[in-house]
Structure 1
């Protein structure tokens, strides 16, 4: 299998793993706290949560269908522009998710638990279903956008690779969720959060470089300079490990000024998520 296909498999499995795991966490919280009521309420709660999950999956599937149809109707520069926009959106969403995870790293899911209990005790089953539907739809929509952005950045992809890699990501997510719920040390909340953040930042970097490359090829922007250096003798970005790193994180062996500025701005923005919070000075 070529480096490009290895890259696709890794990216797809990573995205499906992360998004599915997060959706499973939310649904798990809803189930755990809803089942603390009587047997009758438990059965009703499970049914409504299942209905919400199914609705969320249908929403994500509908979004995927709409995006594929829209892409099929376009050709030439219009399709390239759509791909550039989706890759840009996916990159921004990945950064936004990193900032959100950093804010939530020290928090807990108490608000969600209280909402679940409140809906069950009040008999508001539709509200409970909506919580599950929103969680699954949100993660599903992000998965669709991420995968579309990554696949559009690829030189070519195979349906079989997408399906198998997605299945691997799904199995990993279920396994990780099981380990997390059973208290396995290797699946601690902090470790999983840091792994997810690293994956999101790296994948977002590759997408950001794709956006820059497409904007240059479409004539929207210029590279500003000729290649500033040439490291292809050390690590060629057109084959092997260099090609894998190029697609994954945006590595370029012969970078011009604009790609350097763009990718530098991306990593600078990502680093802001790890800056200590500003503390207000005490009044004099």
Structure 2
């Protein structure tokens, strides 16, 4: 296999791995953490989350069809606006999930299972199902459009190569998901919570930068400055591992001021989840 073909395989597989693993990871975190938090409601919670994932898969196919026919279905910048709204909604839901998990941890001295069950009764599990649906829909639609775009521009054996590289990326995502699920059974609830929170925040960071990129490209806000530095010689965000980090955590080799301020604001909001409560219990 030539160096160029090897690099193309890595690029395709890494994109599919990232998109698929992000969706599987969110679903896995919801299933694993929710089952530990509310064992009495495991069946109901699992049903809600899997139903959300199934709905997300159906929505992914619909969104992929819409985006592939954007010129007929959406006018002007409609496709970019749709992607921006979905990414923003997903980032907010991931932040909300982290805040919810932190609140549950602070209540561990009480009956945490009953608290989680009360969340089910008050409808918060519907929000988690929505997060699962949105994660699957957004990542699934982008993966389908990405692969079909490559296949449409390929001929003969090249189309089969795209499919094979895509399947390889999905297999890697499935193996990564299995490793996460297996590890979650072997580690403590506290460690699992920390790992889950960090992964959710990282995914939310990447989504935040995607939203900012769309806002700038649509002309809603300006970038405020020219690129403040250029680290593309060290790690280019347009291909290879740099592109992987760009999609996953929001890395930019030539960042302007607005993306940096937006990313800083995101992490400032996220840090509030770990701030001590403003009012503690009065001493006895």
TM-score, normalised with respect to structure 2 = 0.69
Verify: 1:12 aligned to 2:8, yes or no.
no
Match of 2:175 in 1: 168
Contact 2:23–2:139 (Cα < 8 Å) also in 1: yes
Match of 1:223 in 2: 223
- Could you tell which deviates more after superposition, 229-238 or 263-272? 229-238
Q: Map 1:206-217; keep pairs closer than 5 Å.
A: 206-217=206-217
Q: Distance in 2 between matches of 1:193 and 1:153?
A: 33
In the superposition, relative to structure 1, how do residues 277 and 269 fare at CA in structure 2: closer, same or farther (>3 Å)? same
Match of 1:196 in 2: 196
Verify: 1:144 aligned to 2:152, yes or no.
no
RMSD: 4.1
Structure with higher Rg: it is: 1
In the superposition, relative to structure 1, how do residues 160 and 18 fare at CA in structure 2: closer, same or farther (>3 Å)? same
Cα deviation per residue 1:179-237 (whole Å; 9 max; x = unaligned)?
2xxxx3xx111111111111111111111111111111122221111112222233332
Match of 1:2 in 2: 10
Q: Map 1:12-51; keep pairs closer than 5 Å.
A: 12-24=20-32, 26=34, 33=40
Contact 1:149–1:207 (Cα < 8 Å) also in 2: no
Cα deviation per residue 1:142-175 (whole Å; 9 max; x = unaligned)?
4325525875997978653564355335533542
Q: CA deviation at 1:28?
A: 7.5
In the superposition, relative to structure 1, how do residues 61 and 249 fare at CA in structure 2: closer, same or farther (>3 Å)? closer
Q: Map 1:237-252; keep pairs closer than 5 Å.
A: 237-252=237-252
Contact 2:102–2:273 (Cα < 8 Å) also in 1: yes
Q: Secondary structure at the match of 2:242?
A: helix
Cα deviation per residue 1:227-253 (whole Å; 9 max; x = unaligned)?
122222333323343333222211222
Match of 2:278 in 1: 278
User: Match for 2:60 among 32, 57, 64?
Assistant: 64
TM-score, normalised with respect to structure 1 = 0.69
